[in-house]
Amino acid sequence: MYSSSRELAKQTKIDYSMSRGPGGQRRDKKKTGVRLHHLPSGLVVQVDDQRLQTQNKKIAFDILAKKLEKMRQRKKRRIITKLPRWAKEVRLKEKKQRSFKKKLRKKGGRDDV
Strand order in the sheet with 12-17: 12-17, 33-38, 44-47
Number of domains in the chain: 1
Give domain status of residue 98, yes or no. no
Give domain status of residue 97, yes or no. no
Pairing relationship of beta strands 44-47 and 12-17 according to DSSP bridges: unpaired
Q: pTM for the full model?
A: 0.62
Give domain status of residue 24, yes or no. yes
Residue 38's domain comprises 5-72
User: pLDDT tens across 15-73, in order?
Assistant: 998 876 666 666 677 888 899 999 999 999 999 888 888 999 999 999 999 999 999 99
User: pLDDT tens across 59-109, in order?
Assistant: 999 999 999 999 999 888 989 889 999 999 999 999 999 999 999 988 766
Give domain status of residue 104, yes or no. no
How many C-beta neighbours within 10 Å does residue 61 have?
A: 19
Domain harbouring 14, CATH code: 3.30.160.20
